[in-house]
């Protein structure tokens, strides 16, 4: 049997435990792993060394499985919390979202009003009125009538 580095199993276990996500309920298993790591670092009998290594790997596998399960549970809890927050925001929109919705509704209303006014201006011009007469009838400036007709032509073309 070759010369082993003193404390290598205990040091590796300390690093592994630090990287794992373990709770207080896993402390007994972690303490068992620490005890086995100390035995592995100090044992000289080959038969006992093999036996301790088997126990040590079983305990480490159990700790890793618990750590993975705990991380998966934490990730699922975070995802559920995010979904709950998104649902809450959808149910109770903030002032900015309400302002966006109002702005969209206002733009749609203005678009419909402009379309109605453009249709009215086109009807008045088809009936033989001039742009100025149509503007007086609609109670708007003649330039606005021309803009309505231009926007109506753009929408049609």
Q: Concatenate the DSSP letters of all residues of 19-46 into one string.
A: HS---GGGHHHHHHHHHHHHHHHH---H
pLDDT category of residue 3 using cuts at 50, 70 and 90: very low
Burial class (CB in 10 A: 0-12, 13-18, 19+), 37: buried
Which tokens sit at 71?
């991380």
Contact (CB, 8 A) for 149 and 125:
yes
Q: State the Cα–Cα distance between residues 137 and 143, nearest whole angstrom.
A: 14
CA-based angle 63:68:71, to the nearest 5?
Answer: 125
Residue 20 DSSP symbol: S
The model scores a pTM over 0.95: no
pLDDT category of residue 142 using cuts at 50, 70 and 90: very high
pLDDT for the residue 5: 56
10 Å Cβ neighbour count for 58? 13
Indicate whether 1 pLDDT > 70. no
pLDDT tens readout for residues 65-121 = 888 989 999 999 999 999 999 888 888 878 888 899 899 999 999 999 999 999 999
């Amino acid at each position: 049997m070759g010369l082993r580095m003193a404390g290598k199993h205990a040091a590796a276990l300390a690093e592994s435990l630090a990287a794992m996500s373990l709770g207080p309920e896993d402390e007994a298993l972690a303490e068992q792993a620490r005890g086995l790591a100390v035995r592995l670092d100090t044992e000289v009998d080959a038969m006992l060394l093999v036996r301790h290594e088997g126990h040590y790997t079983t305990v480490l596998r159990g700790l890793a499985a618990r750590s993975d399960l705990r991380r998966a549970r934490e990730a699922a809890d975070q995802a559920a919390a995010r979904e709950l927050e998104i649902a809450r925001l959808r149910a109770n929109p903030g002032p900015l979202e309400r302002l966006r919705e109002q702005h969209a509704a206002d733009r749609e209303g203005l678009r419909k009003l402009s379309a109605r006014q453009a249709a009215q201006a086109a009807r008045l011009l088809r009936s033989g009125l001039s742009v100025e007469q149509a503007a007086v009838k609609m109670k708007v400036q003649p330039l606005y009538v021309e803009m309505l007709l231009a926007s109506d032509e753009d929408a049609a073309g």
